[in-house]
Amino acid sequence: MPVLDRQHMPRQDPEKRRKNFEEVALGYSGEQAKKEASRCIQCKKPACIAGCPVEINIPAFIKCIDEDDMEGAVKELKSMNALPAICGRVCPQESQCEAVCVLGKKGEPVAIGRLERYTADWELGTKPIPEEKPEPTGKRVAVVGSGPASLTTAAELAKLGHSVTIFEALHKAGGVLVYGIPEFRLPKSIVLNEVKYVERLGVSIQYNSVVGKLDTLDELLEEFNAVFLGTGAGLPRFMDIDGENLSGVYSANEFLTRVNLMKAYQFPDYDTPIKRGQRVVVVGGGNVAMDSARCAVRLGAEEVTIIYRRGEEEMPARNEEIENAKEEGIKFKILSNPTRILGDESNWVKHIECLNMELCEPDESGRCRPEPKLGTEHLIDVDVVVIAIGTSPNPLIPMTSKGLKTTKWGTIVADENGITSKNGVFAGGDVVTGSATVISAMGAGKIAAKAINNFLNN
Amino acid sequence: MPFKILEKSQIVPTIHQIIIEAPKIARKARAGQFVILRIDESGERIPLTIADFDGENGTITIIFQEMGKTTKQLSKLQAGDSLLDFVGPLGNPSEIEQVGTVVCVGGGVGVAPIFPIARAHKEAGNRVLTIIGSRNTDLLLWEDKVRDVSDELYITTDDGSKGHHGFVTDILKQLLEGDEQISLVIAIGPPIMMRTVAGVTHPFGVKTMVSLNSIMVDGTGMCGSCRVLVGGETKFACVDGPEFNAHEVDFTLLMNRLMMYRTEEQLAEEKYECDREGCQC
């Protein structure tokens, strides 16, 4: 049987999408999905399952698509992953399941992510498949935060019959999925639908509840049998250079929160403003930097430049997002590092000074350290700067609880099962690992749910 | 779940008071903390310092001045209406200890948040001298409430329509020059007033705290919008503050950052007025 070429996913034309916040990737048609599904050779020992942090039975759900059993495909997916429409969009499949697909050895791997997305979106277009309600165990679990790690833990525990309450500081659930990842990459309606699914499993969500302030961790432990901390890594890092507090200099978190969560791109129909710069510089090379730059383009900037101190090869962003950014006209200034930011008379950012860098020989860790090339300082005209160089965990909860160990980077100390130093308290996702991916947070959430279940049953 | 407005009153034409049903927040709130609210789905999140809290009745009182679209819209709400979101208590409470004599300075709408701080200092056994000031007598708020929790109350108005003709800092200077040993000054008001207070107390070496009203989005340390420079270090007003040592605060930076969205604020306000009055522009 001939192996077909991998099906391309239709995308919005770059010229058009530069001007809107609608989703860039448009998803497979039914015909395309079937063709792509038929490429899977149904390996006896599938490597892809091990490549997935939440161990979806990938060949099984793809087989269902191939056999026109979409309901079966949904059930198969959801038995392992509560948030398939999200994962199908934002997972780095190229370095996980698809990286180990047998077909990838000679040609292109099966488009597992796109098929996951197709399956999840199929369900959104139909009536949700009803969930079987488990017997209530009478045990209560508090989940702090509502990002990918928390939603996963909550869903898994609810499926086991535990009563789960999520405490969310903001007014919407989803964490980084709603404040960080832009609409054009992950529509908020998709997140909302998956949050609703988690609620249908019996999870209740208390919004506007800042744990550490409204309730402390110790207070939650009086009311609940266990607590899961999935508060993410949301404290913005700055470079500690002159001019970083000038007006017009944003952390990526602020820039993206204004645009995504608060819908500043619809200002003044929405009240939250954002400065629409003409010349925007984004500092950093990860997905968050790409997201910020692509938002700036859509807000009408004439020129958007990504400044990254290493080479393009070293950029941590997904290739797909780097390509998308390039197609949308974003410039890349690699091997360049900001040294200071200068403002005008009203304290608004006007120039950013950069220094060229070069990559030296790899050191013991195997990483090339970028070294500055002296005397190459130069100014770039700019009216908005976005700093996207990473985040660290928020200290609010460790600060207000006794006996919760943290590392010097502010992450919570937890073992491989998410067990922390405090009895009854579990943690997972970015708050433990530092900034990582949605799917790895979900993987950690699943593992922690198992550990919590064991704890509750003993 | 929406948060119900139990009482709404107009203090002066542009300054309003609302009492909100928020039992959990009211039980937790302490002097010096703030809340963030959002009126409706398209609304922005704005921080407001808690003016009073009542744990028994489960209420939070806030006082605000009409400054832009959101505060104007807020002023139109009545008892029985609800706010979509109400988050708190945020920020660190004021440090309240028995230190001797404390001078509380409130300017404009800053009189309201200074009230619970003055009350807490009084309850902690301190002698509380309070100075409140406004542009004119009509804009002076909560005089009686503040008097009740103060050992002495001084009033100033810019136009001399009540109390001392001049600024709160005139009285503050007199008190500092007087015989009484002052251990702590705390000031809340417009940034320019707080900067002047810092300037007046500095030569006397008296510990001085100010509550900074930076622009915020989430209020939990996530966005970094509220960053202020204190003692040469970048701090987040939402989680490191809102109170800081006045002698170390970079007020110029604070004032510049407060101006960041002036154009957008004007646009939003004009649009709001237009929409309300149904004009066709």
Helix axes A58-66, A70-78, angle to 10 degrees: 170
DSSP β-ladder status, B15-21 and B59-65 = antiparallel
CB B172 within 8 A of CB B200: yes
Q: Give the minimum alpha-carbon distance from A151 to chain B in angstroms, rounded to a whole number.
A: 19
* pLDDT(A200) > 70: yes
Which residue in B25, B216, B220, B276 has the most chain A C-beta atoms within 10 A of its own C-beta, making it the best mutation to test that interface?
Answer: B220
A186: tokens are: 């992950």
B35 interfacial to chain A (CB closer than 8 Å): no
Pairwise CB contact (< 8 Å): A272 & B217 = yes
Chain A residue with the nearest C-alpha to that of B33:
A213
Cβ within 8 Å, pair B84-A171:
yes
State residue B234's pLDDT score. 95
User: Do B264 and A170 make contact, defined as CB atoms within 8 angstroms?
Assistant: no
Q: H/E element holding A396?
A: helix A396-399
Sort out which chain A residues have CB atoms less than 8 A from B218's CB and list them.
Answer: 169-170, 179, 257
Share of chain A above pLDDT 90, in %: 86
C-alpha to C-alpha distance for A182 and A191, rounded to whole angstroms: 11
Q: Is A152 on the interface with B (CB under 8 A)?
A: no
Mean pLDDT of chain A: 93
Does residue A217 or residue A106 have the better pLDDT? Answer: A217
Calpha distance B144→B37 (Å, rounded): 27
- Enumerate the residues of chain B whose CB falls inside 8 A of the CB of residue A247: 256-257, 259-260
First CA to last CA across chain A, in angstroms? 53
Residue A130's pLDDT is what?
72
Q: Indicate the residue of B1, B69, B87 with minimum beta-carbon distance to A210.
A: B87
Question: Residue A155 is which amino acid?
Answer: A
The distance of B41 to chain A (nearest Cα, Å) reads 8
CB B47 within 8 A of CB B85: no
Judge whether residue A1 has pLDDT over 80: no
Tell me which residues of chain B have a pLDDT lower than 70: 1, 279-281
Q: What's the pLDDT at A267?
A: 94
Which is nearest to A151 in space by CA: A168, A128, A127, A139?
A168
pLDDT tens sequence across A328-371: 999 999 999 999 999 999 899 999 999 999 988 777 777 778 89
Strand runs labelled E in B15-84: 15-21, 34-38, 46-49, 52-54, 59-65, 82-83
Name which of A128-142, A231-245, A357-371, B87-101 the model is least confident about: A357-371
Output the CA–CA distances (angstroms, integers) from residue A98 to A2, A87, A105, B104, B198, in the order listed: 20, 13, 11, 64, 61
Tokens encoding A33: 């999905």
- Who among B24, B217, B252 is closest to A214 (CB)? B24
Are residues B221 and A273, on separate chains, in Cβ contact within 8 Å? no
Which chain B residues are within 8 Å of A245, Cβ to Cβ? 227, 229, 234, 253, 257
Tokens 């490429």 locate to A39
What local confidence, expressed as pLDDT, does residue A66 receive? 95
Question: What stretches of chain B adopt beta strand conformation (E)?
Answer: 3-12, 15-21, 34-38, 46-49, 52-54, 59-65, 82-83, 85-90, 101-107, 127-134, 152-157, 164-165, 184-188, 207-211, 227-230, 233-236, 243-245
Q: Stretch A445-457: mean pLDDT, rounded?
A: 96
**The pLDDT value given to residue B279:** 67
Note the pLDDT of residue B280. Answer: 59
Contact (CB<8Å) A271/B222: no
Q: How confident is the model at residue A92 (pLDDT cuts 50, 70, 90)?
A: confident
Cβ partners under 8 Å of residue A444, min gap 6: A149, A418, A428, A429, A432, A433
Whether B90 has its CB under 8 Å from any CB of chain A: the answer is yes
Instruction: Please judge whether A171 and B85 are an interchain contact, meaning their C-beta atoms are less than 8 angstroms apart.
Output: yes
Nearest CA in chain A to B233: A240
The closest of A435, A431, A449, A439 to A232, measured between CA atoms, is A431
* pLDDT for res A365: 75
Q: Is B256 on the interface with A (CB under 8 A)?
A: yes
Task: pLDDT band for A241, please (50, 70, 90 cuts).
Answer: very high
Indicate whether A378 pLDDT > 90: yes
Question: For residue A214, how many other CB atoms are within 10 A of its CB?
Answer: 21
Q: What is the DSSP letter of B64?
A: E
Q: What's the pLDDT score for residue B74?
A: 95
178-197 of A, contacting B, C-beta below 8 A: 179
Q: What are the backbone angles phi and psi of residue B166, rounded to the nearest 5°?
A: 150, -150
Say if the Cβ atoms of B38 and A171 lie within 8 Å: yes
Q: Is A15 exposed, middle or buried (0-12, 13-18, 19+ CB in 10 A)?
A: exposed
Nearest chain A residue (CA) to B71:
A271
**Per-residue pLDDT tens digits for A311-320:** 998 899 999 8
3-state secondary structure of B165: strand
Cβ contact, residue pair A208, B89, below 8 Å: no
Pick B25's closest partner by Cβ from A207, A214, A248. A214
- Please check whether residue A372 is in contact with residue A391, taking contact to mean a CB–CB distance below 8 angstroms: no
Closest-CA distance, B1 to chain A, in angstroms, reads: 8
B274 shares contact with chain A (CB less than 8 Å): no
Chain A contact present for B114, CB below 8 A: no
Q: pLDDT at position A126, please?
A: 81
Residue B222: which of A235, A238, A267 has the nearest Cβ? A235
**Residue in B25, B222, B253 to test binding to A, most A beta-carbons within 10 Å:** B222
Burial of A239 (0-12, 13-18, 19+ CB in 10 A): middle
- Chain segment A60-75, per-residue pLDDT in tens: 999 999 999 999 999 9
Tell whether the model's pLDDT for residue A2 goes beyond 60.
no
Residues of A in contact with B252 (CB under 8 A): 347
Interface check for A411 against chain B (CB to CB < 8 A): the answer is no
Q: Can you give the pLDDT at residue A158?
A: 96
Q: What count of CB pairs under 8 Å joins A to B?
A: 116
Helix (H, G, I), strand (E, B) or coil at A413: coil
Q: Does A344 touch chain B (CB under 8 A)?
A: no
In this prediction the ipTM stands at 0.94
**Residue of B87, B223, B252 lying closest to A254 (CB–CB):** B223
Task: Please indicate whether, in this complex, the C-beta atoms of B45 and A275 are within 8 angstroms of each other.
Answer: no
Determine the distance in angstroms separating the CA of A20 from the nearest CA of chain B, rounded to an integer. 19
Nearest to A112 by CA among A128, A123, A99: A99
What is the C-alpha to C-alpha distance for residues A40 and A49, in angstroms, rounded to an integer? Answer: 13
The b-or-e profile of B148-169 (16+ CB within 10 A means b, else e) is ebbeebbbbbeeeebbbeebbb
DSSP structural state of residue A260:
I
What letter does residue B241 receive in the DSSP assignment? -
User: Are A213 and B256 an interchain contact pair (Cβ–Cβ within 8 Å)?
Assistant: no
Answer whether A229's CB lies under 8 Å from A431's CB: yes
The answer to whether residue A345 neighbours chain B at the CB level (below 8 Å) is no
Q: With 80 as the cut, is the pLDDT of residue A132 above it?
A: no
Query: Which residue, A429, A251, A246, is CA-closest to A342?
Result: A246
Helix (H), strand (E) at residue A319 = helix A319-327
What length does chain A have?
458
CB A77 within 8 A of CB A116: yes
pLDDT tens for residues A389-436?
A: 999 999 999 999 999 999 999 999 999 999 999 999 999 999 999 988
Residues of chain A found within 8 Å of residue B84, distances taken between Cβ atoms: 171
Nearest Cα residue in chain A from B250? A245
